[in-house]
Amino acid sequence: MAITGEGEDQVLEREMAADRREFVRGLRKAFPHAVRDAGDLLLVQDGDVQMEIALFPLPDRCIAQLRLPNMRVRIQFTSGSRVAQLRMLSKMDQAMHRGGG
């Protein structure tokens, strides 16, 4: 996971096996009262850290008979220190973690 950019203008891109509905549900699990759906962007404010999230659908990922929704997630931090941003990402990742074997 690489964050690029300087100062508050940090940007992260990743590919995730989820659809928009599932992603928003996980985001709201991590930040119950901090997610605002602004159409093309999801806005999240947690303390002094704010991020804007854009979701871009990709073709499904197919493994044998299994089809997984797939999307590119672009996260841009618009405020907060690098440490606070990483803490926010960790909280989001923990909320979206799926159980398994």
**Which CATH number does the domain housing residue 63 bear?**
3.30.1370.80
Residue 3 within a domain: no
What do you get for the CA distance between the two ends of the chain, in Å? Answer: 23
**What does the alpha-carbon distance between residue 97 and residue 58 come to, in Å, rounded to a whole number?**
20
pLDDT for the residue numbered 1: 44
Residue 54 within a domain: yes
pLDDT for the residue numbered 12: 92
pLDDT for the residue numbered 100: 53
Instruction: Judge whether 33 and 41 are in contact, CB under 8 Å.
Output: no
Residue 33 within a domain: yes
Q: What is the pTM of this model?
A: 0.84
If one counts the domains in the chain, the total is 1
Alpha-carbon dihedral 27, 30, 34, 36, rounded to 10 degrees? 10
Q: Each residue of 44-77: pLDDT tens digit?
A: 999 999 999 999 999 999 999 999 999 999 999 9
Q: Each residue of 88-97: pLDDT tens digit?
A: 999 999 988 8
pLDDT for the residue numbered 96: 86
CA-nearest of 4, 72, 1, 85 to 45 is 85
Residue 6 within a domain: no
Residue 16 within a domain: yes
Q: Which domain holds residue 50?
A: 11-96
